[in-house]
Amino acid sequence: MNLVLIYFAIKYKGYFHDIYNAIKKKEFIQMEELEKIGEDLSSGKIKAITIIDEDYPEPLKQINQPPFVLFYEGNKELLKEKLIMLTGDFSNENINKFINESAFELSKNYTLVSNFSKGLDEKIIDNLIKNNQNLILISSNGLTNPYFGKNINELKFNKDKYLIISEYPENVNLNHKRLIQRNRISIGLSEALIIASSYKESKISNLVSCALEQGKDIFCFPGLQSENDGNNLLIRDGAKMITSIKNKI
């Protein structure tokens, strides 16, 4: 059955409803196609975890439209660790200090999850790589050329310390819907969401919505004394204020 799931995930480019309908209708598959999938798995050309595999992350089974297949590159054993997401929009001296301390403290108990967007996420990733800490990146397109804040090939990862996952097979291109859809996976894997900084009108708002929908805690570093600071608004609306990671998470 896992070969069938991978076949449909590739055929339908990871789209949940198309895969679901193909399974429901018992869409016919040529045996040669499944044999090819099996060969690609054995050779490592395809690296994938299906929702019926033992190593599929249990928390993802609880989210809306859990990916039938996770394609991956790197150390999939990191999915068994305690996971948490740390992100933000912008930096200043205080935020940089918080990020540097947070990444170190969190790495003692957690593997960090990131969408690796441009801006503050780049600083977070650089910090983790520099200190040889665990990291899981969620791609919003296929793994042939994953869309991140930096070219992934320019980063010097320890191969045992990172994992890139995507619900999309190789050569699937980026679009706005896929950027939004990956947030449910990022939050689904994470025990909580930590926001170091955000603007009032921020793309992080979708991560917040996912966290609220999934019942995950949201922690915010107190922001600037400005009407445009999103963290202050989030704290006002019920997010937990955090000034230090120690003994808080």
The domain locations on the chain are: 2-73, 77-241
Write the CA distances from 9 to 20, 74, 130, integer angstroms.
Answer: 10, 20, 35
User: CB count, 10 Å around CB of 67?
Assistant: 27
Task: Give the β-pairing of 192-195 and 83-87.
Answer: parallel
Give me the tens of pLDDT residue by residue for the chain, a chain 249 residues long.
Answer: 899 999 999 999 999 999 999 999 999 999 999 999 999 999 999 999 999 999 999 999 999 999 999 999 999 999 999 999 999 999 999 999 998 888 888 888 999 999 999 989 999 999 899 889 999 999 999 998 899 988 888 888 888 999 999 999 998 999 999 999 999 999 999 999 999 999 988 889 999 999 999 999 999 999 877 778 999 999 999 999 998 886 556
Q: So what CATH class is 77-241? A: alpha beta
Give the amino acid at 122. E
- Predicted local confidence at residue 221, as pLDDT: 94
- Predicted local confidence at residue 37, as pLDDT: 96
Q: For residue 186, what is the DSSP state?
A: H
Q: In the Cβ-directed half-sphere of 243, how many Cα atoms lie within 13 Å?
A: 2
- Predicted local confidence at residue 150, as pLDDT: 86
Number of H helices, E strands in the chain: 8, 9
Partners of residue 199 on adjacent β-strands: 229
Global pTM exceeds 0.85? yes
- Predicted local confidence at residue 13, as pLDDT: 96
- Predicted local confidence at residue 248, as pLDDT: 57
